[in-house]
């Protein structure tokens, strides 16, 4: 890569980290007046599907609807959106946004043991140390009484860990079974549409549906901005993987966590104890050790969907 290429790719990487990091405090704002998960997920998916439909029309591509594609959309919608976002919106209503940014960065560490079980990865001492560092980071979040602002928040941490687990399952599913020859943009389109169709009856049946015919305030605008950011940043991430490689693009994990905490401090006026900052450092160290090295990342681009539907 030329210096100009490196500068451009680095800029895209930073912007992606800033954008995805912002979705954590935006999620906190979206639930601040009582909006619940099924209603929020439906509109997140519906907005994402609408944007992707427009992109597909402009590109002249149709959404594949063969059996393999439909199964892919359904699985990725469930593993990458409906289940993890349900726990995300529930737990972020009770936990600081910055803590959620740390928890979500645990995805690579949860993905590795699953990949070992599926024989998609090989065991190594380096990655074992990464898992231990991540575990130590989680322990720093939950064990010291001075870590969380309120000890009562502790009961919501296990629920917050459900989302990263399902993201890890999603990434391994894609690595193991692929996406039925559907390109990433159409995968996001189809999975967003599937997620909207799945959660609409849930939102209506549970009384969580958010009517668009209402006055709009910060929670509603936060939801819209988060959905639009996710779609466009995902598209940028796909482009970056294709141009700069999966190893370079995966460094966005560190930026998402760091910017997530900075945005929470700037937007929500959150402050953190030394334990939380130490936990972030240990978790990011774990991510660095667990992520594949350059010669192991040839197939890592197939795991783009692990990030795209959060």
Segment holding 19, helix H or strand E: helix 3-30
pLDDT of residue 176: 84
pLDDT of residue 148: 84
Separation of alpha carbons 243 and 206, rounded Å: 44
pLDDT of residue 294: 53
Separation of alpha carbons 36 and 38, rounded Å: 6
pLDDT of residue 303: 45
pLDDT per residue over 172-226, tens digit each? 888 888 888 888 889 889 999 999 999 999 999 999 999 998 888 999 999 999 9
pLDDT per residue over 118-143, tens digit each? 887 778 888 888 888 988 988 988 88
Task: Taking each helix axis as running N to C, give the angle between helix 97-104 and helix 125-142, from 0 to 180 degrees, rounded to the nearest 10.
Answer: 160
Total domains, the chain: 1
pLDDT per residue over 212-232, tens digit each? 988 889 999 999 999 888 888
- Please name the residue that has the structure tokens 């159409």: 186
pLDDT of residue 298: 44
Name the least confident of 20-24, 55-59, 162-166, 305-309: 305-309
pTM: 0.86
Share of the chain above pLDDT 70, in %: 92
Among left, alpha and beta (phi > 0; psi -120 to 50; other), residue 143 is alpha
Kindly tell me if the per-residue pLDDT of 307 is higher than 90. no
Given a contact cutoff of 8 angstroms between Cβ atoms, the answer to whether 56 and 189 are in contact is: yes
Kindly tell me if the per-residue pLDDT of 285 is higher than 60. yes
* Torsion sign over Cα 138, 120, 75, 244: positive
Separation of alpha carbons 33 and 17, rounded Å: 27
**Domain of 286?**
3-308
Q: What letters, b where the CB count within 10 A reaches 16 and e where it falls short, cover 73-84?
A: bbbbbbbbbbbb
Separation of alpha carbons 78 and 163, rounded Å: 11
């Amino acid at each position: 890569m030329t210096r100009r290429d490196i500068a451009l790719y680095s800029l895209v990487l930073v912007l992606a980290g800033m954008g995805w990091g912002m979705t954590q405090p935006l999620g906190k704002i979206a639930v601040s007046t009582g909006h619940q998960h099924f209603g929020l997920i439906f509109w997140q998916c519906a907005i994402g599907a609408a944007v992707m439909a427009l992109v597909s029309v402009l590109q002249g591509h149709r959404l594949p609807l063969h059996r393999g594609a439909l199964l892919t959309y359904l699985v990725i919608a469930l593993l990458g959106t409906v289940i993890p976002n349900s726990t995300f919106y529930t737990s972020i209503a009770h936990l600081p946004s910055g803590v959620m940014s740390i928890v979500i960065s645990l995805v690579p560490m949860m993905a590795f043991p699953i990949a070992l079980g599926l024989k998609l990865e090989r065991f190594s001492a380096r990655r074992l140390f990464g898992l231990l560092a991540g575990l130590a980071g989680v322990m720093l979040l939950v064990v010291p009484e001075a870590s969380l602002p309120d000890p009562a928040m502790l009961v919501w941490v296990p629920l917050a860990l459900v989302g990263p687990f399902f993201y890890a399952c999603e990434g391994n599913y894609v690595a193991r079974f692929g996406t039925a020859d559907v390109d990433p943009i159409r995968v996001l389109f189809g999975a967003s549409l599937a997620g909207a169709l799945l959660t609409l009856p849930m939102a209506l049946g549970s009384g969580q549906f958010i009517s668009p015919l209402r006055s709009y305030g910060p929670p509603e605008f936060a939801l819209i901005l988060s959905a639009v950011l996710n779609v466009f940043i995902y598209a940028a991430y796909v482009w970056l993987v294709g141009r700069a490689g999966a190893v370079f693009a995966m460094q966005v994990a560190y930026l998402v966590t760091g910017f997530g905490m900075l945005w929470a401090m700037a937007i929500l006026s959150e402050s953190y104890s030394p334990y939380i900052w130490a936990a972030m450092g240990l978790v990011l160290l774990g991510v660095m050790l667990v992520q594949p090295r350059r010669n192991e990342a040839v197939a890592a681009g197939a795991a783009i969907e692990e990030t795209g539907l959060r």
